[in-house]
Structure 1
Amino acid sequence: MRAVQVTEFGGPEVLNLVELPEPVPGPGQQLVGVTRIGVNYADTHQAENSYLAPSKLPLVPGGEVAGRTAGGQRVVSLLNGGGGYAEQAVVDAPTTFAIPDGVDDLTALSFIVQGTTAWLLLRRSSHLEAGETVVVHAAGGGVGSIAVQLAKAWGAGRVIATASTDEKRALALELGADVAVDSRADDMTETLREANGGKRVDIVLDMTGGVTTDQSIAALAPFGRLAFYGMASREQPKAIEARNLLGHSTTVSGMWLPHVFKLPGNVFGRALDELFELALAGEIRAIPGGEYALSDARKAHEALRSRSTVGKLLLDPAK
């Protein structure tokens, strides 16, 4: 089968299209014929071995696929340890979910990671309450574009989106943000306060790190919450220390999606079901970010790393 393999860690240049044997399912697994592959920012970390879970070589990257089982059922699946950038993938039953009729591959793959991440950030990490002001950084991205929609659907009083281009800010406003500001502002603290009518904000969803995180923490109201779920800048924030948190009764949380499977009550399944229901009801939608041939996986990673993309990026394993 055709697959993308990494034999040395690095940037997009280490992604190579090769022929590999078809994977063999083990106990509790099944083989899926892949129809579309989801591309995540985490994949770029996996390829350079800078992800929270260490990578091992040789590696077929990719943590999510949509496809069909041998019996013809359409499914979307999270993969443990990679294996998604291929024509065939072995999936585990606990992290494989039926795709409802009326839901396309783009939507299923947008929700399996980015959608559930946005759901968890608002429901579990920041505990959004009606009327609160929510800041969504990188609002044009996969998580951000869904988080904007969910925050409005769940009663946020004001949603402030940040994005780096006019196109992304226009998209955020179209999705329901009340105001959209430039993520490259020199003083994000002041920018967010101005966008909130001079007041501090209640919640910030942040995947940037570095100065953006530091200045966002400074913009939080007493008992404000910053939910941290990534570090695209690859820069460590400096403001997460006791005196800064005590100064405004600030909460800073981290969220890594795999941990949700350790929670009781099938939280992940409930999140995905609710997202599918909202999509079928027309209340939220997935944003296409571009579809690449499997042979062009390098280009997909280059686009992600440049932070020029919007919405969800896909790979087509048939090309």
Structure 2
Amino acid sequence: MPNGAAYSRRMGRVTRRTPAHRIDLGDPEGPRVVARPDTVAVEEPLEVRVGGTSLAVTMRTPGDDFDLAIGFLLTEGLIDAASDVRHLMHCLDEGEDGRPTYNVVDVTLAEGVQPPPASAARDFYTTSSCGICGKASIDAITTRSRYAVAQDPLRLSPDVVAGLPAALRAQQKVFDRTGGLHAAGLFTGEGELLAVREDVGRHNAVDKVLGWAAREGLLPLAGHVLAVSGRASFELTQKALMAGVPVLAAVSAPSSLAVELATETGMTLVGFVRDPRMTVYAGAERLGLTAG
């Protein structure tokens, strides 16, 4: 574990009570309106700094911020392992109510590790605001990845894949209270759940899980499966690839670029995983499947 990374998983509130009106249109006597507080997921900005220089800002659910920072640096190709980070710390700033917040993480890289280029902050802003485009992005990610997932010998049962969403859902504690969080879970090829993280951003949930795996010394994640509660975007497929994950399973649909990236790199991509059905978009051989 990098120096300074001993921390509570929860820094700040993850849920908040807010006034709300519940409306029921099903009553034959007319709409019923009940004023009752509801619980919502907290969404706050997290600024990631490297050596005191601002690199990126993401909207996230507070908690596991150090894993999020390490996972982000890892999946963006800025570090190779958790050992590339010497120290992490929360920079305390004052919130609107005068109490300190934990919305800035400053990362100190290990000696000899190159800092991000000066253009990196602008590049992250451009990517998040303007999107990514086609074949050029796939070529860039393929070049940057350190792991050849196509060579991963993992074979797994379709029954194992079908059971991943239920295992993931059973651990979504904050979702139970809010209905407003994404989740990512890391599983072994036998379906054993190793870690689950929740966040308002699906990419943050993935970064938190992969950052945890990096701190545990598990990289590359050969023989593992990453399961996500929503759709499989290009960005999530990229993050899985950068950590050496050979299989990405999603409850919802993949995007066209996600399918292209998975196909190009030899990753297995499974969407619409809803027991007993699923759709395999790339790498069906890992599940031992042939079309009838």
Q: TM-score, normalised by structure 2?
A: 0.30
Q: TM-score, normalised by structure 1?
A: 0.28
